[in-house]
Amino acid sequence: MDVFFRSVVPALPLFFEGMLVTLQLCAIGFFGGVVVGAILTFLGFLSPPTRWLSVAIVEFFRATPVYVGLVWVAYVWPELFGWPGTAYEAACVALVMQTGAYLSETFRGGILAISKGQREAASALGISPTAAAVRIVLPQVLINSIPPLINQLVVVFKSSTVVSVIGVQDLLFQANAVANKYYEPLEPLTFVALIYIAIITLVSVSARGIEKRLRARFQ
């Protein structure tokens, strides 16, 4: 307890700063991933060549471990494309691509799960294909995607812990810094581990709650 007050309490502002970086990174990774996932899904349905492009990107980022993807984006992309310039940008890009690849599979599955009969019924009622896609298929896909989306948020949080390796000053980075500063790893690491568990448990429990409520409403 003594060590706790000596090493963790004075470092609280640092932890708070790290927490903000983690939250920011996860928000960018998640929402950017939703956009990239939607684009990849759209490309997948557009035409055969774009479909191959989308499948290649999705399969590559789904099969690459997040840490490998992170290091690859951080050290290989700058030499190939001259971008991203900073570790933070690289972390954002890696998380966005990873999340986008997973979500594109979710969206694609969601679209395919809407039965063809619904589109046929819409066209029988004289609704144009575009209107049917926007007003009939899309809302259902979005509602069905909510639980997997929140689960993906859990994955983003867990993945974000490796960004400290390339020097991004997130929550875990600060925990290690504090541990090295005082030569007391136990309290800061335990404290930060508990914060991660609390956040992720909160997200995954609320995911299950929302899923249950949606099921109750739509079935």
Partner 1 sequence: MNDLASLLDLSFAWEYRHLLIRGLMVNIQVFAMSAAIAVLLGLVLASAMLRGPGWSRGLTTGFAEFMRNIPEYVLIIWMFIALPFLLTRLTGTRISFGAMPTAVVALGLVFSAYFAETFRAGFQATSPGQTEAAAALGMMPRQITGRILIPQVLLRLAPEMLNVSISLFKTTSILSLIGIQDVMYQASTMSGQLTRPVPIYTGAAIMFVGTIIIASLVVRLITAKLHERMN
Q: Which one of residues 11, 21, 153, 162 is an interface residue with partner 1 (CB under 8 A)?
A: 162
d(CA 73, CA 71) in angstroms, rounded, equals: 6
Q: In the structure encoding, which two tokens stand for residue 212, read together?
A: 């249950």
Is 16 a binding residue for partner 1 by CB under 8 A? The answer is no
Amino acid in the structure at residue 165: V
d(CA 86, CA 68) in angstroms, rounded, equals: 17
Is 200 a binding residue for partner 1 by CB under 8 A? The answer is yes
Is 56 a binding residue for partner 1 by CB under 8 A? The answer is no
Is 94 a binding residue for partner 1 by CB under 8 A? The answer is no
Of residues 137-156, those binding partner 1 (CB under 8 A): 154
In whole angstroms, what separates CA 161 from the centre of its chain? 12
Nearest to 75 by CA among 102, 93, 51: 93
Q: Which one of residues 35, 186, 206, 212 is an interface residue with partner 1 (CB under 8 A)?
A: 186
Q: Which one of residues 190, 209, 212, 213 is an interface residue with partner 1 (CB under 8 A)?
A: 190
| Spatial contact of 40 and 57, defined as CB atoms under 8 Å apart | yes
| Spatial contact of 45 and 111, defined as CB atoms under 8 Å apart | yes
Q: Which one of residues 86, 201, 209, 212 is an interface residue with partner 1 (CB under 8 A)?
A: 201
Is 60 a binding residue for partner 1 by CB under 8 A? The answer is yes
Is 53 a binding residue for partner 1 by CB under 8 A? The answer is no
∠ at Cα 35 (135, 195), nearest 5°?
A: 115
d(CA 42, CA 118) in angstroms, rounded, equals: 20
Is 88 a binding residue for partner 1 by CB under 8 A? The answer is no
Binding site for partner 1 (CB under 8 A): 60, 63-69, 71-72, 75-76, 79-80, 154, 157-159, 161-162, 165, 172, 176, 179, 184-186, 189-190, 192-193, 196-197, 200-201, 204
